[in-house]
Amino acid sequence: MNNHPVSIDRPWEAESQTAFLQKSGHGYRVGIPEKKNFFKEFSFAFRETFFHDDPLYHYKDQPRRKQFWLGLQSFFPILGWGRHYNLKKFKGDLLAGLTIASLCIPQDIGYAKLANVPPNNGLYTSFVPPLVYAAMGSSRDIAIGPVAVVSLLLGELLKHEINPKKHPEEYLHLAFTATFFAGITQVALGFLRLGFLVEFLSHAAVVGFMAGAAITIGLQQLKGLLGIKNFTTNTDIVSVMHSVFSNAHHGWNWQTVVIGMSFLVFLLTAKYIAYRNHKFFWLVAVAPLTSVIVGTFCVYITRVDKDGVNIVRHLDKGINSSSVYKIYWSGPYLVKGAKIGILTGIIGLTEAIAIGRTFATLKGYQIDGNKEMMALGVTNIMGSMTSCIVATGSFSRSAVNFMAGCKTAMSNIVMSLVVLLTLLLITPLFKYTPNAVIAAIIINAVVGLIDIKAAARIWKVDKLDFLALLGAFFGVIFKSVEVGLLIAVMLSIGKILFQVTRPKTALFGNLPRTNIYRNVEQYPEAVRVPGVLIIRVDSAIYFSNSNYLKERILRWLRDEEDLNKEHGLPRNQHLVLEMSAVTDIDTSGILELEELLKALKKLYVQLELANPGPLIMDKFLAANYVELIGPEHIFLSVDDAVAYCTSKFKATENT
Amino acid sequence: MNNHPVSIDRPWEAESQTAFLQKSGHGYRVGIPEKKNFFKEFSFAFRETFFHDDPLYHYKDQPRRKQFWLGLQSFFPILGWGRHYNLKKFKGDLLAGLTIASLCIPQDIGYAKLANVPPNNGLYTSFVPPLVYAAMGSSRDIAIGPVAVVSLLLGELLKHEINPKKHPEEYLHLAFTATFFAGITQVALGFLRLGFLVEFLSHAAVVGFMAGAAITIGLQQLKGLLGIKNFTTNTDIVSVMHSVFSNAHHGWNWQTVVIGMSFLVFLLTAKYIAYRNHKFFWLVAVAPLTSVIVGTFCVYITRVDKDGVNIVRHLDKGINSSSVYKIYWSGPYLVKGAKIGILTGIIGLTEAIAIGRTFATLKGYQIDGNKEMMALGVTNIMGSMTSCIVATGSFSRSAVNFMAGCKTAMSNIVMSLVVLLTLLLITPLFKYTPNAVIAAIIINAVVGLIDIKAAARIWKVDKLDFLALLGAFFGVIFKSVEVGLLIAVMLSIGKILFQVTRPKTALFGNLPRTNIYRNVEQYPEAVRVPGVLIIRVDSAIYFSNSNYLKERILRWLRDEEDLNKEHGLPRNQHLVLEMSAVTDIDTSGILELEELLKALKKLYVQLELANPGPLIMDKFLAANYVELIGPEHIFLSVDDAVAYCTSKFKATENT
C-alpha cells in the first residue's frame, strides 16, 4: 500500500524536460510517443480488448451486396460451405455421422442419468441441438450433444434445489430453465465479446478438473455396475467408497456385476486395440452399440431383470415435445435456474471452444471464439424449448468424428437424423438395456478425459501449473464438482497475481567485445562493469509489486556492496535500471521509483534508466519524474548508460 | 482455454538441442541456465515471496549474545532507540505529545460515536494502545489511537449484528471481540509474513476509498451539527440527504446549528491559516481543544442543553477497566466478531503501514512492514482486554506529530499520559461539551482525507487507475463502506488481470547505423527490415493471454502484408519475435507458440526467436520446443536474427 499525503507538485514542462534527454553515441534520444488524447487511448484499449480479432476486416472495401451476404454467412456458416458441398465430402460425413450416432445413443442415456433426467431427454439432446449447431457453428469436427461433465454438474446443482425423485416434473422444468439460461449466457458472452473470460481457466486447471470429473463420474457408475440400491447422493470419493463397501455384503447384485464387468472389459479391450493400431479406430465407435444390443438381447431372453438386474425401463417412443411452457419464466426458480444456467453454460463453452480450437489447428482452419459462443448459445436456447438439457461439444465423440473422416458439420446432421429414427422406431427396445452396460459405456468414455500425458508435460514444464492441476483435481474428487471448479478458477487467477506480485529481477553484465548486456546467470561469460550495478526488472511496475521491487533493488545493491568490500573492489556509484521489460507503470510504481531515487541519493548512488518504453516515458513525463531524476540520466540503451558512467569516472580521476 | 487432447511427444534431448543453437557474430550462444532441482527452485520462490527482505541479514556473522540482543530489539525497538535517548529528543517529543493529545481528546469522543460505543471507550483507546505501540513499533512519527474510517467501518459492521441502542452491553462486548480478532489478524499476517496481501489495494483505490469514507463520515456529522433527532441509520448519501431535508422544517435545532457552524468556520479558518503558513501549524492542533473548552463553557453557562442542544452527557471518571471477560470466547458472536475483526484489522493495517512508510521516507529511515503488523496486532490485543476499540495510526494526528517535531515514539507515551490525566481528573467536565462541536471537529479532521492533489495526479498519469478511484469513491458514498472496499479490491485485482490478459505488442525497426532495434511508434527514426517482420511481445505468456497473443501476432503479419502489397514491397518471409520482455511462459503459452509455428508454416513464414530469457529457455527445453522450432532459429539478439534472415535472402538470390 502506497499512500502519500505529501505529493510532489511541479509545473508541467514536458517540452523542456525532453530537450535535455541524453543523445546516444549515434545521435538518438529516448523516444517520446505522440501524445494521444484520452478518447483515442480509451477507444484503442477498448478495441484491443473486445475486437482484437478485427471482425470487420473481411467487409472492408466490399460492395454492399457482398457485405450483406458475408454478414449472413458469418451467422450461418452453412451458407458458405454448403455451396461447395459435394458427394465426396458427403461420403466422409455420412460415415462419420453414422459412427458418432452409434456412439451417442448409449452415452445419451447414461448422461441423462447423470443429470437426473429421464433417458428420453438425453436422446432428445442429440436430435435438435446438432441440427441448430450444424447451421450456425464454424467448427467442422465438433460433435454436439449432452456431455459427461456438464451433465454431472447440471445434475448436482439442480439436485440442491429440487429433489428429482420426489418432484420429477418440477425438476425437469428447472433443468429446461437452466438450459435456457446456459444458452442466454453463451449468446451474451459472444455478443458482448467477453469470450476472453473463458480463458481465465488455465490449461493446467482444466486438465486437473477434467481428470477429477472423470473419476467422479466413473465412481457414480459403480452404482449401476455393481447394482447397488442404496447409493449415496454425494459425489465425493469418500462417501462413494463408503457406500460401495458398506453395501458389499448384501447390496451388490452378482448378475449385474457379471454383466457390467464383462462389458467393461470388452469395451476397454476394444479401446486398447484401437489405440495401438489406428486402423481399428472404428472399434471404439462400434463396441458401445454392440454392447447395448448384446446386453439388451441377453436380458430380454433371460429376463434377469426379475432377479434384480436394473434395466433402463422408462423410454418412450416419439420425438422432442415443446418445452417452452415448462421453462420457469417467473418466480424463485427463475433466479435459481439462471444461476445454474450461467455456470453450466460457461463450462459447456470452455469444453466446446477447447475442442473446436484443437481440431481447427489440426486441420489448419480458424474458428472465431465469439461466434462459436453465439452458435452454441442459440443451440441451447432452441434445445431448452424442445425438452433438451445443456448440449456442448463432446471430447470423445468429436475425436471419433475426426478420425472417421468427417468433412463438415454435415456429420452432425447425419447423427441427428439417426437419433430421430431411433426415437421414432426403436426406443422401446432399449427398455431392456441393463444399466450395467450403460455404466460400463460411460466409464469407458470418461477414461479418455484423464490426460496423463498432459499432466506429465505440465509437471516437467511448470511446477506451479502442476499445483493448480492437483488443486482442481482433488477439489473435485474429495469435495464436489463445484468446489473443484472454484479451486481451479482461484488457483488460475492466484497464479497470475502471484507472478505479478513477486516479479523477477536480474543482475546484468557485458558480453565482452560487444555492446550487449545480458543476465549473468544465463550468460556466465557476461562480466560486470566496475562501479556500475546493472539491474533488470522483469515486469510492469504496479501497486502490487512496486514496494517489493524497490526493496529488492536496494537489497541487490547491499549484497553487491558486501561482495565488493570482501574483494576490495570499488563501490558502486551508479545503478542502471534496464527497463526493456517494464512495459507499464502506475501511480504507485512512480511513487516507489521516487522513493528509490531518494534512498539511493542517501547512499550516494546515482540512478540511471536504460531503454524505458513509450508508455513509461509518457507516464514519467505526466508525473514529472523525468525532471526529478534529471533527463540526462535516461538512456536509449544500457550501453549508453554505462558509457556515461565510465565517462564520469574518468572525469573524477582527471580532477 | 487451451485444452489439447493430442499432445506432442518427443524424446528428452536437452543436450543435443542446445548444441545447435546459433552462435552470434561475436561467438556467443543463447544461454541455458543451470538446471535447478525442484526443491531448490521451490525454496527460492518461497524465500522471495515471504522473506524477500532477508530478515536475518543483520544476524549474520554476529556472536550469539549479540544475536539475542538484536532479536529482542527487533521485537522491542524501544530497547534500541531508548539507549540513545536524550533531553534534546525529549523536548521535541514532549511538545509533539502535548499537541497530539490536545487533538486526540475531542476526536476520540467523536470516533467513539462513529463506532456506536460510549465516549469513554474512545478515550481509553488513546491510553493503552499508544503505550504498547511505543514499546514495539518501529515508526517514529505515527500517532496511535482510534481513527475515523476504522471506527466507522467497525460501527457499521457491528450494527448489523447487534442493535447498539437496545443492547448496548452486548454490543460493547462484540466490539471488544472484534478488536481482539483485529489484533490476532494483524499478528498473524505479520508472523506468517503475508504483509504483501495488504498491497493488493492499489494507491488509487485507497485514495478513492478514503475520500468516500471522509464524505460519509462528514455526512454522518450532520446529525450532530444540525441537531437532528430522527436521523437515518444508513450511511449512503441518498438516505442521509433525505433524512436531512425531510427534517429541515421542524427537525433542526437552531441553537445547535449556530454553535456547530460557528465552530466549524473557526476550525476551517485555523486550518487554512496553518496551511498557508506552516509556522502556524500549531493552530491545527490547538483549535479543536479551544473549541471544546469554549463550547463546553458556553453550554455550562447558558444551559442551552435544556433547549434541545445535544451534549456528550455520559462520560465517566476513571481509567480503562479490564475487558478480558467481556470478549465472546464462544458462541455465535465469536465467529461474527472474528469476521468483523479480520476486516477492520486489515483496513487498520493498510492505514498504519501507509502512514508509517510515508513518514519513514520523509525522514529517511526504514520500517519493516511485517514487524509493524505484529506490533499493531499486539497493540490491539492488549487494547481489546482493556476496553479499547480498534486502534491504528491516524493520518491527521501523525501529520501534526511530525510537524510538531516528534523524534521518537516517546510522543505517543506523552500523549497517553495526558489522556490518563484527563481520564482521572477532568472527564466530567466534558459532559457539557455540545455534540455540535465534536461534529465540527470531526468534519474538520476528515477533510484532510480527501486528497484532491493525488486524485489529479492519478488522472494525469493513469486513466485506468482513476477509474478504480472513482469506483471505490462512489461505492462508499452511494452504498456503504464495505461495498466501497469490495469495489476497491475488485477493481485493483481486475486491473492486474486486465493488463495480463491484453498485453501490448509492438512493431520493431532498426535505428540506422546501429545494431539497436526499437519500437517504431516510440522511435520514428527506426526503419523496418524488408522481408523481416520484427514483433516484440511485452509480457509473460500465460494461459490468460496466450491465445490473444497468437492471434495478435498473426494479425500484425496480415496487416503488414496488406501494406506490403499496397506498396509493392516483398512479402515477409521471416517473423522475428523479440522476447526480452517475455519473462515467463506456462504450458498454455508453449502450446500456443506451437500453434503459431504451424500457422506460420502454412503461410510460408519462418519464425525466429530473439533473446529468450533463462526461464523461457528452460521451459522450451523441457517442452521440446527448441527441437520443434529448430535450434538454429533461436538468437541472442534481434540483430543476429536479422543478420541470419538477410543471409538467407542473399543465398536465395545467388541460386
Higher per-residue confidence, A270 vs B15: A270
Confidence of residue A5 (pLDDT cuts 50, 70, 90): very low
Residues A507 and A493 in one domain: no
pLDDT of residue B543 exceeding 90, the answer is no
Q: Could you tell me if residue A562 is inside a domain?
A: yes
**Bridge partners of A508?**
A519
Secondary structure tally for chain A: helices H, strands E:
27, 8
Q: Are strands B517-519 and B532-537 parallel, antiparallel or unpaired?
A: unpaired
pLDDT value at A220 more than 70: yes
Which residue in chain A has the smallest CA separation from B396?
A: A5
pLDDT band at A24 (very low <50, low <70, confident <90, very high): low
pLDDT of residue A226: 85
| C-alpha triplet B119, B475, B451: angle, nearest 5° | 70
How much is the pLDDT for B227?
Answer: 83
SS3 labels along B79-96: HHHHHHCCHHHHHHHHHH
Cβ-Cβ contacts under 8 Å for B249 (sequence gap 6 or more): none
Pairing of strands A392-393, A505-510: unpaired
Residues, chain B: 655
Contact A138, A372 (CB under 8 A): yes
Instruction: Please indicate, yes or no, if residue B248 is contained in any of the structural domains.
Output: yes
Q: Please tell me if residue A210 touches chain B, with a CB cutoff of 8 Å.
A: yes
Q: Give the count of beta carbons closer than 10 Å to the beta carbon of residue A237.
A: 17
Find chain A residues with C-beta within 8 A of B369's C-beta.
547
Are residue B491 and residue B512 in the same domain, yes or no?
no
Q: What is the DSSP letter of B117?
A: S
Of the pLDDT bands very low, low, confident and very high (cuts 50, 70, 90), residue A22 is: low
pLDDT at B9: 37
* C-alpha span between A192 and A477 (Å, rounded): 34
Q: Is B451 on the interface with A (CB under 8 A)?
A: yes
- Contact map slice: B 276-335 vs A, CB within 8 A: none
pLDDT at residue B627 in the model: 87
Are A168 and A287 within one domain? yes
When scoring A186, A366, A522 by the number of chain B Cβ atoms within 10 A, the one with the most, hence best to mutate, is A522
Res A187 pLDDT > 90: yes
**What is the pTM for the complete model shown?**
0.77
> Chain A: residue nearest B5 by CA?
A451
A520 and A460 in one domain? no
Per-residue pLDDT tens digits for B514-526:
888 998 888 888 8
Indicate the residue among A474, A497, A520 that finishes a domain. Answer: A497
Sorted by sequence, the CB contacts under 8 Å of residue A439 that are 6+ apart come out as A110, A221, A222, A223, A224, A225, A260
Which residue shows C-alpha cell 491516524?
B394
Cβ <8 Å between A5 and B538: no
Place of cell 434445489: A161
* Residues 89-118 in A contacting B (C-alpha not used; CB under 8 Å): none
- Quote helix, strand, coil % in chain B, to nearest 5: 65, 5, 30
H or E segment to which residue A373 belongs: helix A369-384
Average pLDDT, chain B: 85
Enter the ipTM: 0.78
Residue of A nearest to B589 (CA): A203
Q: Are residues B526 and B599 in the same domain?
A: yes
Residue A534 phi, psi (nearest 5)? -110, 120
Q: Is B547 on the interface with A (CB under 8 A)?
A: yes
- A157 contacts A97 by C-beta, under 8 angstroms: no
Chain B hits for A613, Cβ within 8 Å:
519, 522, 538
Q: Do the chains contact at A204 and B586, CB–CB below 8 Å?
A: yes
Pairing verdict, β A505-510 and A144-145:
unpaired
Residues with Cβ within 8 Å of B515's Cβ and at least 6 positions away in sequence, in order, are A515, B637, B639
Of B457, B455, B456, give the one whose Cα is nearest residue B472: B455
> Does residue B2 carry a pLDDT above 60?
no
CB contact under 8 A, B523 and A458: no
User: Nearest-5° angle of CA B496, CA B497, CA B498?
Assistant: 90
> What letter represents residue B332's amino acid?
P
- B105's CB contacts (< 8 A; 6+ apart) are B123, B126, B289, B292, B419, B422
pLDDT higher than threshold 50 for residue A9? no
Among A206, A463, A519, the residue with its CB nearest the CB of B1 is A206
- Judged by a CB distance cut-off of 8 A, whether residue B265 touches chain A is no
The predicted structure's pLDDT at residue A17: 55
What per-residue confidence (pLDDT) applies to A11?
37
The phi, psi pair for A227, rounded to 5°, reads 65, 40
C-alpha cell at B290: 479551544
| 3-state DSSP assignment of residue A137 | coil
Residues A611, A476: one domain?
Answer: no
The three-point CA angle B267-B270-B275 to 5° equals 125
CA distances from A332 to A174, A226, A327, A335 (A): 11, 38, 12, 6
Q: Which of A558-562, A571-575, A591-595, B47-51 has the lowest mean pLDDT?
A: B47-51
Q: Which residue of A has its CA nearest to B516?
A: A637
What distance in Å separates residue B287's CA from the closest CA in chain A?
22
CATH code at position B543: 3.30.750.24
Tens digit of each residue's pLDDT (9 = 90 or more) over A124-174: 999 999 999 999 998 889 999 999 889 999 998 999 999 998 999 999 999
Task: For chain B, say whether A44 makes contact (Cβ under 8 Å).
Answer: no
Q: Which residue of B has its CA nearest to A209?
A: B3
Q: Is the domain of A471 the same as that of A513? A: no
Residue B271 is which amino acid?
K
Going by the DSSP 8-state scheme, the letter that residue A476 receives in this structure is H
Judged by CB atoms closer than 8 Å, whether chains meet at A511 and B38 is answered as: no
Asked if A561 has any chain B CB less than 8 Å from its own CB, the reply is no
* Tally of domains within chain A: 2
Domain identity same for A276 and A415: yes
User: Among residues B379, B365, B372, B325, which one has the least CA distance to residue B351?
Assistant: B372
E strand or H helix at A535:
strand A532-537
Whether residue B636 contacts residue A523, with contact meaning beta carbons closer than 8 Å, is answered with no
- Residues across chain A: 655
Any residues with CB less than 8 A from the CB of B79 and at least 6 apart, and which?
B72, B73
A4 within some domain: no
Laid out side by side, the sheet with B532-537 consists of B517-519, B505-510, B532-537, B574-578, B606-610, B634-635
Which of the listed residues B449, B473, B497 is the one where a domain comes to its end? B497
Is A461 a residue whose pLDDT tops 60? yes
**A19 falls in which pLDDT band (50, 70, 90)?**
low
Domain of A214 in residue numbering reads as 85-497
Cβ pair B124, B110 in contact under 8 A: no
Asked if residue B425 is part of any domain, the answer here is no
pLDDT digits (tens, 9 = 90+) for B430-480: 888 888 888 898 888 888 888 898 899 888 888 778 888 999 899 989 988
Final residue before a domain boundary, out of A464, A497, A530: A497
Please work out, in degrees rounded to the nearest 5, the angle formed at the alpha carbon of residue A636 by the alpha carbons of A634 and A641. Answer: 60
C-alpha cell at A102: 452409434
Residues ≥6 apart with Cβ < 8 Å to A53: A368, A370, B551, B555
DSSP letter assigned to residue A31: P
Q: Does B28 touch chain A (CB under 8 A)?
A: yes
Contacts of B53 in chain A (CB under 8 A): 551, 555
Question: Do B542 and A499 count as a contact with CB atoms less than 8 A apart?
Answer: yes
Helix (H) or strand (E) holding A343: helix A332-363
Is residue B105 assigned to a domain? no
Q: Which residue has the cell 477533510?
A: B447
- Tell me which residue of A595, A584, A40 sits closest to B465, measured CA to CA: A584
Q: Which residues of A touch B581 (CB under 8 A)?
A: 580-581, 583
Q: Give the separation between CA B204 and CA B465, rounded to whole angstroms.
A: 6
The answer as to whether B76 is a domain residue is no
Segment among A226-235, A437-446, B268-277, B375-384 with least mean pLDDT: A226-235
Q: Is residue B421 part of a domain?
A: no
Residues in B 372-431 with any Cβ partner in A closer than 8 A: 395, 399
Measured in degrees and rounded to the nearest 5, phi and psi for residue A562 equal: -55, -45
Among chain A residues, the shortest Cα distance to B623 is held by A461
- Grid cell at residue A473: 483435481
Alpha helical stretches, state H, A527-586: 546-567
Q: Which of A586, A581, A594 lies closest to B458, judged by CA?
A: A586
* pLDDT for the residue numbered A10: 37
DSSP-derived letter for residue A292 is H
Count of pairs with CB atoms under 8 A, one residue in A, one in B: 314
Residue A23 is predicted with a pLDDT of 67
A335-393 pLDDT tens trace:
999 999 999 998 898 888 878 877 877 777 777 778 889 999 999 999 999 999 999 99
- Closest partner residue to A544 (CB to CB) among B496, B586, B591 is B496
Same domain, B459 and B507: no
Q: Is residue A58 part of a domain?
A: no
What ranges in B502-624 are assigned the alpha helix state H? Answer: 546-567, 587-602, 614-622
The DSSP 8-state label assigned to residue B311 in this structure reads: B
At B16 the pLDDT is 53
Summarised one tens digit per residue, pLDDT across range B331-376 is 889 999 999 999 999 889 888 887 887 787 777 777 777 888 999 9
Please give the pLDDT value at position B447.
Answer: 86
Single-letter code of the amino acid located at A541: I
Cα A629 to Cα A594: distance, rounded to the nearest angstrom: 8
| A517 and A594 housed in the same domain | yes
Assign B541 to helix, strand or coil: strand
Which is more confidently placed, B279 or A361? Answer: B279
> A607: helix, coil or strand?
strand
Grade residue B532 by pLDDT with cuts at 50, 70 and 90: very high
Percent of chain B at pLDDT exceeding 70: 93
A493 and A506 both lie in a single domain: no
Candidates A52, A503, A543; nearest CB to B492: A543
Chain B residues touching residue A548 (CB < 8 angstroms): 52, 196, 199
Which of A41, A462, A500, A507 to mutate against chain B (most B CBs within 10 Å)? A462
| Cα A90 from Cα A46, distance rounded (Å) | 43
Nearest to A54 among B199, B500, B555 (CB): B555
State the Cα–Cα distance between residues B445 and B152, nearest whole angstrom. 14
A 146-175 → B contacts, CB under 8 A: none
Place of cell 548486456: A517
A52-82: per-residue pLDDT in tens? Answer: 767 777 777 778 888 888 888 888 888 888 8
Q: Are residues A266 and A180 in the same domain?
A: yes
**Residue pair B517/B508 in contact by the 8 Å Cβ criterion:** yes
